[in-house]
Amino acid sequence: MPVILPVKGVHPQIPESCFVAPNATIVGDVMMGKDCSVWFNAVVRGDVNKIRMGDKVNVQDGACIHCTYEKTETNIGNNVSIGHNAIVHGCTVEDNVLIGMGAIVMDNVEIGQNSIIAAGAVVLEGTKVPAGSIFAGVPAKKVKDISQELLSGEVQRIANNYLMYSSWFK
């Protein structure tokens, strides 16, 4: 059974259309949109600040979403995929974004819509990722603009697949 706990009297808000894996952890001031999924060993920790997730967000296995006490909250748009073992911390992620496996997104980062953060990338504090960009590397830098093929073939496909995968567990 997942760990879903209030912190200081604030309970996570998780619509019935969401899937939460049996060993996922969601605590505190977390509001999830519809059709989200939080996968095995993922942690969404709204204990020190707010976490807001739009519709159709998937937080894949081992990923961690957190924020900084009294400084940064985490806001995630619609149709966002957060890859296995990624860390998303105190930042803003707009709609239609793929954050690759093992990527780290630090405080006060702003990721524009229709973007990809490559697997293993480290997006340093305060970085602004322009809409339609692909960022990669350590530290992450823009490597190119996203193509329509990548947007539909990866960003949209992965988000839709995770919606399908979550239906297998309901």
C-alpha atoms less than 13 angstroms from C-alpha of 57 in its C-beta half-sphere: 27
Instruction: Find residue 76's DSSP bridge partners.
Output: 53, 93
Residue 55 DSSP label: S
Element spanning 87, H or E: strand 87-89
Domain encompassing residue 89: 3-167
Q: What is the pTM of this model?
A: 0.97
Instruction: Find residue 75's DSSP bridge partners.
Output: 52, 92
- CATH code of the domain containing 27: 2.160.10.10
The CA distance from 168 to 87, in Å, is 26
pLDDT, tens only, 64-85? 999 999 999 999 999 999 999 9
Average pLDDT over residues 107-121: 98
Q: Domains in the chain: how many in total?
A: 1
Helices (H) and strands (E) in the chain, counts: 2, 19
